[in-house]
């Protein structure tokens, strides 16, 4: 691709040594630069791409995109912000695939994965070709591929979107994380609609304050990023989006007035049932999805589906047989104990999970941990929540990364009353086995934090591990 085409739409402050050269690839890692590449300098938390320009040129970079003028004879383009420039360049390199499909983004602390997966099932049932991008990787139709980040970096994201376009996808549902918004990974892609689920404490290691974290998510709701907001009216931050009145808005909720709302919510071992009023159309829904928090996720998906013209009775039929979202409120029965496997890894997520199970009969034994090199403030809070709703708590490992495993567990333990029945077992498989020793027939064992993940990350190494596989071994 000619460099002039590649830079289309990018605001360039200064161009030096310009010639309309052919570009073979785009890189932001100097080690991956190949001959005739365009190298984009990104500034991150630990390194600055501007320091690696010489290496990029040695490896064959034909041009550099930078925030500041670099002392080099090579072609360079100085821009205001290389991150937004990279997003536009990546889209141009793949011939702007997002413009060929309808894009729905999902923003929020909890529920993003569930909403995108539910949407995928509803739209597929209604006869549409759909793709998803998020925590579970990316999916093209029924084919699922492994991913690394909730929202991939712009080059990977646009490569996935181009693959979806070539495969005939009509709709793509994308999880938009707070980090992705902060780093402008979706810059230049205007969504047809955006769902807001909720905001609760997470990632304060990066954002420092709840207000900064929340404001990052809320900043996405502008006419530049999306044409429509579909908002949880029961969430305090959702109501801020509604009050800002920057976009056309559809609301969903239970406790506050909404365009889509639920009544008569009931839950049993088979899933959820409730009556939904959606734009004054009424339907009784039954779904195998468990957890009352999934009522919100379903209503969000209903709002999107009806906006795009799918009839409510069709949606109801899709929800009747919908597969469980991997690692999200997955219920298994092992040795006559109910086991709930869930990705809950935030205070709000854990409280939603455990409060929903409380009072359903039998004791609750909770096995969970907190990740290392992440928000430390939430650790004692999650310990307190676990103790509040459980009869016994076992604190274990959950991706300690480069922190000491025991130190993380002790910080979680600080939130639990001294006289509360609790123990620390860092070996996650042994912790789950111990939960079965403590629980009686008819009790519920909650295994939280890892969900679909198939590894534990320790000191930079991803060691194969799966909660599901442990439960399979116990059920033999």
CATH for 33 = 3.40.1390.10
Residues 128 and 250 in one domain: yes
* Structural contact between residues 132 and 139, judged by C-beta atoms closer than 8 angstroms: yes
Q: Is 209 inside a domain boundary? A: yes
pLDDT confidence tier of residue 190, bands split at 50, 70 and 90: very high
Q: How far is it, in rounded angstroms, from Cα 280 to Cα 186?
A: 34
| pLDDT of 16 strictly over 90 | yes
**461 and 365 in a common domain:** yes
- In the predicted model, what is the mean pLDDT of residues 202-231? 96
pLDDT surpassing 90 at residue 174: yes
In a domain, 91, yes or no: no
Residues 163 and 71 in one domain: no
CA atoms within 13 A of residue 7's CA, in its CB half-sphere = 26
Residues 170 and 315 in one domain: yes
Range of the domain at 315: 97-320
Residue that is last in its domain, among 276, 296, 320: 320
408 and 445 fall within a common domain:
yes
Tell me the angle at which helices 312-320 and 112-125 cross, rounded to the nearest 10 degrees.
110
Instruction: Give the separation between CA 399 and CA 467, rounded to whole angstroms.
Output: 13
Q: Which of 46, 80, 114 is the last residue of a domain?
A: 80
| Per-residue pLDDT at 255 | 96
Across the range 179-192, mean pLDDT stands at 97
Of the pLDDT bands very low, low, confident and very high (cuts 50, 70, 90), residue 476 is confident
Residue 10 has pLDDT above 90, yes or no: yes
**Full DSSP string of 144-197:** EE--SSSS--HHHHHHHHHHHHHTT-SEEEEE--HHHHHTTTTTT--BSEEEE-
Domain check: are 316 and 335 in the same one?
A: no
pLDDT per residue over 318-333, tens digit each?
999 999 999 999 999 9
Report how far residue 437's alpha carbon sits from residue 346's, in angstroms, rounded to the nearest whole number.
27
Mark whether 58 and 123 lie in a shared domain. no
Are residues 388 and 458 both part of a single domain? yes
Same structural domain, 402 and 264:
no
Q: Is there a single domain that holds both residue 180 and residue 288?
A: yes
Residue 281 within any structural domain of the chain: yes
User: In this structure, what CATH number is given to the domain that contains residue 224?
Assistant: 3.40.1190.10
Distance CA 259, CA 252 (A): 6
pLDDT given for residue 148 in this prediction: 86
Find the CATH number of the domain harbouring 442. 3.90.190.20
Does 399 map to a domain?
yes
Residue 290: per-residue pLDDT: 93
pLDDT (mean) for 389-410: 97
Last residue of a domain, one of 280, 295, 320: 320
CA dihedral for 81, 83, 84, 87, sign (positive or negative): positive
Asked whether residue 424 is domain-assigned, the answer is: yes
Residue 89 lies in a domain: no
Residues 205 and 76 both lie in one domain: no
Residue 307 belongs to what H/E stretch?
helix 293-307
Mean pLDDT, to the nearest integer, of 445-450?
Answer: 97
Do the beta carbons of residue 425 and residue 394 sit within 8 Å?
yes
pLDDT of 45 > 80? The answer is: no
- Of 141-155, 220-234, 275-289, the range with the lowest mean pLDDT is 141-155
* pLDDT tier, 268 (very low <50, low <70, confident <90, very high otherwise): confident
Encode pLDDT of 383-396 as tens digits: 999 999 999 999 99
Query: Please, is 128 exposed, middle or buried when counting C-beta atoms within 10 Å of its C-beta (0-12, 13-18, 19+)?
Result: middle
**Per-residue confidence band for 360, with pLDDT thresholds at 50, 70 and 90:** confident
Domains held by the chain: number: 3
Residue 90 lies in a domain: no
Whether 142 maps to a domain, the answer reads yes
Q: Say if residue 68 is in the same domain as residue 165.
A: no
């Amino acid at each position: 691709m000619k460099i002039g085409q590649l830079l289309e739409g990018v605001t360039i402050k200064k161009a030096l040594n310009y010639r309309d050269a052919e570009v073979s690839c785009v890189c932001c890692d100097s080690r991956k630069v190949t001959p005739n590449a365009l190298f984009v300098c990104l500034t991150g938390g630990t390194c600055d791409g501007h320091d690696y320009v010489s290496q990029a040129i040695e490896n064959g970079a034909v041009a550099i995109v930078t925030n500041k003028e670099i002392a080099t004879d090579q072609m360079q383009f100085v821009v205001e912000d290389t991150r937004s420039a990279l997003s536009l360049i990546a889209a141009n390199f793949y011939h702007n695939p997002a413009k060929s499909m309808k894009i729905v983004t999902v923003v929020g602390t909890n529920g993003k994965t569930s909403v995108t997966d539910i949407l995928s099932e509803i739209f597929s049932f209604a006869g549409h070709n759909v793709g998803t991008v998020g925590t579970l990787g990316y999916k093209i139709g029924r084919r699922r591929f492994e991913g690394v980040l909730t929202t991939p970096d712009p080059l990977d994201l646009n490569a996935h979107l181009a693959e979806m376009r070539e495969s005939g996808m009509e709709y793509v549902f994308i999880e938009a994380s707070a980090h992705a918004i902060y780093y402008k990974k979706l810059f230049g892609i205007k969504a047809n609609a955006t769902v807001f689920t909720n905001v609760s404490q997470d990632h304060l290691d990066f954002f420092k304050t709840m207000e900064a974290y929340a404001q990052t998510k809320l900043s996405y709701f502008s006419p530049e990023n999306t044409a429509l907001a579909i908002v949880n009216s029961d969430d305090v931050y959702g109501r801020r989006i509604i009050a800002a009145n920057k976009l056309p808005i559809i609301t969903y909720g239970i406790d506050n007035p909404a365009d889509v709302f639920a009544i008569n919510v009931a839950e049993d071992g088979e899933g959820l049932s409730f009556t939904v009023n959606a734009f004054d159309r009424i339907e009784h829904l039954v779904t195998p999805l468990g957890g009352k928090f999934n009522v919100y996720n379903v209503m969000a998906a209903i709002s999107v589906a009806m906006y795009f013209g799918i009839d409510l009775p069709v949606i109801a039929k899709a929800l009747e047989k919908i597969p469980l979202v991997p690692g999200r409120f997955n219920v298994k029965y092992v040795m006559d104990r109910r086991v709930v496997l869930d990705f809950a890894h935030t205070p709000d997520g854990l409280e939603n999970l455990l409060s929903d199970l409380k009072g359903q009969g039998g004791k609750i034994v909770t096995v969970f941990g907190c990740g290392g090199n992440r928000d430390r403030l939430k650790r004692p809070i999650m310990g307190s929540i676990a103790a509040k709703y459980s009869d016994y708590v076992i604190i274990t490992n959950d991706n300690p990364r480069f922190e000491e495993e025991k130190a993380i567990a002790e910080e979680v333990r600080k939130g639990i009353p001294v006289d509360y029945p609790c123990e620390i077992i860092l070996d996650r498989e042994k912790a789950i086995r111990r939960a079965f020793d403590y629980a009686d027939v008819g009790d519920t064992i909650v295994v939280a934090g890892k969900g679909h993940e198939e590894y534990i990350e320790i000191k930079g190494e991803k060691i194969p591990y799966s909660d599901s596989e442990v439960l399979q071994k116990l059920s033999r």
